[in-house]
Chain A
Amino acid sequence: MANSDPIPRDQAPPSDSEETNGADEISEEGEEEEDTEYEEFEEEEEELDPVRERERLKSIFRRLSTDPVHVRVHDVVIKGNTKTKDAIIEAEISDLFKKPRTVQELVAAASIANARLKQLDVFDSVSITLDAGPAELPGTTNVVIEVVEASNPLTGNVGVFSKPEARSWSLEGSLKLKNLFGHADIWDTSGAFGWDQSLEIGTGVWVPRFKSVPTPLSARAFLLSQDWLKFSSYKERLMGLNFGLLSTNNHDLSYNLTWRTLTDPTRMSSPSIRRQLGHNVLSALKYCYKIDRRDSHLRPKSGYAFSSTSQVSGLWDLRGLKFFRQEFDLRAAMPLGFWNAALNVGLSAGAIFPLGRNFTKLSTSVPDRFFLGGHSSLVCSLGGPSSLLGFQTRGLGPNDMRRVLNLNKDEGSSVQSDCHDFVGGDLAVTAFADVSFDLPLKIFRDAGIHGHAFVCAGNLAKLSEGEIRNFSTERFLKTFRSSAGVGVILPTKFFRVEVNYCHVLKQFENDHGKNGIQFSFSSPL
């Protein structure tokens, strides 16, 4: 520690006569001086210690962050879980703490473990501490995971949204019961009521893992009724089960068993729809691959995204619907370098084919076909061809004439209700280009309100019932519908609002395209 001599060496020694007393006095004084100086020295040392301690710690942290400090995990201790099974937590993090050999790797693994446990959504907080290992085992550490289970296992939320497949807006609410059996299981019940009197009720369960299956599993029972009378003269009621078999960041595999009933209470449907009325069973396996490297899914400015969805139906019994359905969706975003602007482009395509002998002559089920139109966001939605701004929901494509009522046979008068039913297409292609930019006022920029200009195009074609022979790529490209417009996007806390002015550039007979202002509400997440 300190090496300085406490007694100054330039001081003369005291005389003898005076020395005794003086010496005593001097010695006493000297001793007092020595004590004082020693105390001063100790105070100086104490003042220097915190500084040195800080320096010492800084050097340790620098060493830990830059130099490989070898360490080994001796044990993982879990605390705070009264309901959640240890096995569930261990399964989430077990593979993370086997491999790290240095402190840096261990800290990285701990942050991943923290994220994984928080993702289970059954803990209020998760903290991971690296404690010293047993004294007899130097170079080891104990990982202490302390969780605080959700104090209130019941949560709920309510929102107003518009979906691409729905006709209008819907009020949605859900209740979640977390960790009922200690397996990080989440039970939820949800309901959605649409403005057009559509109704969806569902209940399900999600578990992060089940026995030897390492990926999340889910099961859901649902009842859904939708009203397509205005567009296609039928009402749809679905009742069924959905099982999520595999769910990772990029892959999703699910099985759907649905009893679907189509009815026409108005009795005005076209012959094509009339022949589709009745009961059907949909027993389908659906695989979805999705990769999204965009920097944001609400306002992407760079990156790309791709999704592919394949669906095979007709797996159970030979009496259900049998078809193969494929969708692709490709998006790209690139910054333009001014006004925080970005160009988004996208291309989507989808096709459905019936399965069976002479499949070219068979028909596909109307609800499984592709429909274009509606107000959903071009940029945010990723999942196949569906949206075409400027056109009404299900507002273009193959159609069939509705029933004619002969009111007075003598006068020959007749009434035809709203003319046509849109029956969907077996092949669909859409494309769009969208430029988003900041608005001039700072208040808008601070609130995230921005503008966009877009152009989009799409088309549908029928391939089933022998129509594939009449299909011509040239005619398909020539009959593309298109629209362009500008709009403002307002992201709020509860939903994302798009207000667009659309101008239809090209439409055909019986299409329901309309110039004007359109609103769209979607989830803010």
Chain B
Amino acid sequence: MGDSRSSGDRHLFLVARKPRFGLPTACPSCLPVYLYLKLANADFSVEFDSSFPDSDHIPYVEYGESVALNNEKGGVIELLKEEAILDLNAKHTSLAIPDLVSTKAMVSSWLYEAILYELWIAIGGDVARNIYFSDLPWPIGKILHWKKIYDVKKLLGVTKVNCEERELEIYKKANEAYEALSLKLGDQVFFFDNRPTDVDALFLGHALFVLHALPETSELRSNLLKHDNLVKYAEHLKAELQLDSTPSSTQPSSSSKDASTSSAPRRKPSSGWGAKPNPKPKKEKTEEEKKFRRRAKYFLATQLVAVLVFLSLMGVPGDSEMDDEDAVDYDEE
């Protein structure tokens, strides 16, 4: 028994968390990797994992017999670059590299911390629960949620004593990052040389998550909305990359519960958390409904025809009873 993905086959398999809020994957760690593959025009399929919300190796990308895990060597994107599988930065000149590296460091640290704080501490549990724990039984999801909040507080150094101070610090850094990025972007399509880089993947993932997944009451979202060019940049690339359509996923190969998550999302996005109405998923649902109804009609019609044929061939049930009575009378005689 061997893996169907044999060595030498450069089709990539991305395993990420499930889509939600109109995004191909709702996890802020998985979305940049997805966007990186999209920007690189890579040939890849997506599978969804909903049973391991507290893992740090997801997202991961399988290529041939190897795999790039998120908890190794700086993450999936760095590993893909190191292995020369996909390197968006390869075509950029050496002059842009220092600027690129420092921008990436700012996005990977300040904005990453801001997302962590906003998602797990600031806005309450619904968004995080919908992304990570909705497919697990409630007690387990709840325990893992509390554990994750504890881990995030420990990572960010947030305590009861310094909570407000830390919040101000995190938002201040995020604002500074937004301003710097807004200045850097200007009217360009991409941040560097009008070509996509890993910085675009990282920031686009951040921006789309903040704009679509976080509620309107989110301070981080309000801060981002102040920078029109960043918002336009995100929406433009979202349309350009056709992120509105649900990602094609391979047939689920893991546990049975993935069957409900790896196909096109059938659940409605959670209400009240900034989910924007999305016309294309509704159209697909309507087509599916039509198909289902058509098949149901065919089935019912077939059953009705079968019953009618049976009745016409076998006769009315009452006739057989009369025949039996006649038979009894005959026997008695």
Judge whether A361 is part of the interface by a CB distance below 8 angstroms.
yes
By the criterion CB–CB under 8 Å, are A321 and B255 in contact? yes
For chain A residues 101-135, which have a beta carbon within 8 Å of chain B?
Answer: none
By the criterion CB–CB under 8 Å, are A363 and B66 in contact? no
By the criterion CB–CB under 8 Å, are B253 and A363 in contact? yes
B313: chain A residues at CB < 8 Å are none
Stretch of A62-70, A274-282, A499-507 at the chain-chain interface: A274-282
Min CB distance, B316 to chain A, in Å?
Answer: 38
By the criterion CB–CB under 8 Å, are A405 and B254 in contact? no
Partner of A400, one of B2, B83, B136, B256: B2
Q: Assuming A319-B137, A403-B65, is B3 touching A276 (CB within 8 A)? A: no
Partner of A401, one of B2, B84, B144: B2
A270: chain B residues at CB < 8 Å are 3
CA distance A270 to B64 in the complex (A): 12
B62: chain A residues at CB < 8 Å are 271
B140: chain A residues at CB < 8 Å are 259, 279, 281
By the criterion CB–CB under 8 Å, are A321 and B55 in contact? no
B33: chain A residues at CB < 8 Å are none
Supplied contacts A320-B137, A361-B259, 4 more A-B pairs, CB within 8 Å: A274-B60, A363-B256, A401-B2, A404-B65
CA distance A361 to B251 in the complex (A): 9
Indicate the member of A279, A361, A399, A416 with the most B CB atoms within 10 Å: A279
Q: Mark B59-90, 1 if CB is under 8 A from A, else 0.
A: 01010111101011000000000011000000
Min CB distance, B8 to chain A, in Å?
Answer: 12
By the criterion CB–CB under 8 Å, are B3 and A358 in contact? no
Judge whether A354 is part of the interface by a CB distance below 8 angstroms.
yes
By the criterion CB–CB under 8 Å, are A400 and B255 in contact? no
A59: chain B residues at CB < 8 Å are none
By the criterion CB–CB under 8 Å, are A278 and B49 in contact? yes
Judge whether A46 is part of the interface by a CB distance below 8 angstroms.
no
| Beta-carbon nearest neighbor of A283 in chain B | B137
A323: chain B residues at CB < 8 Å are 256
A274: chain B residues at CB < 8 Å are 15, 60, 67
Judge whether A365 is part of the interface by a CB distance below 8 angstroms.
yes
Judge whether B52 is part of the interface by a CB distance below 8 angstroms.
yes
By the criterion CB–CB under 8 Å, are B51 and A356 in contact? no
Judge whether A362 is part of the interface by a CB distance below 8 angstroms.
yes
A355: chain B residues at CB < 8 Å are 256
Partner of B256, one of A267, A321, A416: A321
Q: Assuming A321-B256, A406-B83, is B66 touching A271 (CB within 8 A)? A: no
By the criterion CB–CB under 8 Å, are B255 and A363 in contact? yes
A361: chain B residues at CB < 8 Å are 251, 259
Q: Mark A494-514, 1 if CB is under 8 A from B, else 0.
A: 000000000000000000000
Partner of B83, one of A321, A403, A409, A465: A409
Partner of A403, one of B1, B67, B71, B254: B67
Q: Mark B25-59, 1 if CB is under 8 A from A, else 0.
A: 00000000000000000000001010111010100
Indicate the member of B64, B252, B259 with the most A CB atoms within 10 Å: B259
Partner of B51, one of A278, A403, A406, A462: A278
By the criterion CB–CB under 8 Å, are B66 and A401 in contact? no
CA distance A399 to B1 in the complex (A): 6
CA distance A365 to B253 in the complex (A): 11
Interface residues of B, count at CB 8 A? 38
B57: chain A residues at CB < 8 Å are 267
CA distance A165 to B177 in the complex (A): 55
Interface residues on A, range: 35 or more
CA distance A365 to B254 in the complex (A): 8
Some 28 contacts from A to B, beta carbons below 8 A apart, are A267-B57, A267-B71, A267-B72, A271-B3, A272-B253, A274-B67, A275-B49, A277-B52, A277-B55, A278-B49, A279-B144, A281-B137, A316-B137, A319-B135, A319-B257, A322-B256, A355-B256, A361-B251, A363-B256, A399-B1, A400-B1, A400-B2, A401-B3, A404-B7, A404-B64, A404-B65, A406-B83, A409-B83
By the criterion CB–CB under 8 Å, are B3 and A279 in contact? no
Judge whether B5 is part of the interface by a CB distance below 8 angstroms.
yes
By the criterion CB–CB under 8 Å, are A405 and B256 in contact? no
Judge whether A398 is part of the interface by a CB distance below 8 angstroms.
yes
CA distance A365 to B258 in the complex (A): 12
By the criterion CB–CB under 8 Å, are B51 and A280 in contact? yes
CA distance A398 to B136 in the complex (A): 29
CA distance A316 to B139 in the complex (A): 12
A411: chain B residues at CB < 8 Å are none
A276: chain B residues at CB < 8 Å are 254-255
By the criterion CB–CB under 8 Å, are B253 and A401 in contact? no
CA distance A449 to B309 in the complex (A): 75
Q: Assuming A275-B49, A363-B256, is B3 touching A400 (CB within 8 A)? A: yes
CA distance A16 to B196 in the complex (A): 162
For chain A residues 400-449, which have a beta carbon within 8 Å of chain B?
Answer: 400-401, 403-406, 409, 416, 423
Partner of A278, one of B52, B65, B137: B52
B137: chain A residues at CB < 8 Å are 281, 316-317, 319-320
Closest 3 CB pairs of A and B: A278-B52, A278-B51, A275-B254
Q: Assuming A271-B3, A403-B65, A405-B66, is B255 touching A365 (CB within 8 A)? A: yes
CA distance A191 to B84 in the complex (A): 50
CA distance A365 to B51 in the complex (A): 12
CA distance A365 to B7 in the complex (A): 26
Min CB distance, B82 to chain A, in Å?
Answer: 8
By the criterion CB–CB under 8 Å, are B256 and A278 in contact? no
Indicate the member of B47, B52, B66 with the most A CB atoms within 10 Å: B52
B72: chain A residues at CB < 8 Å are 267
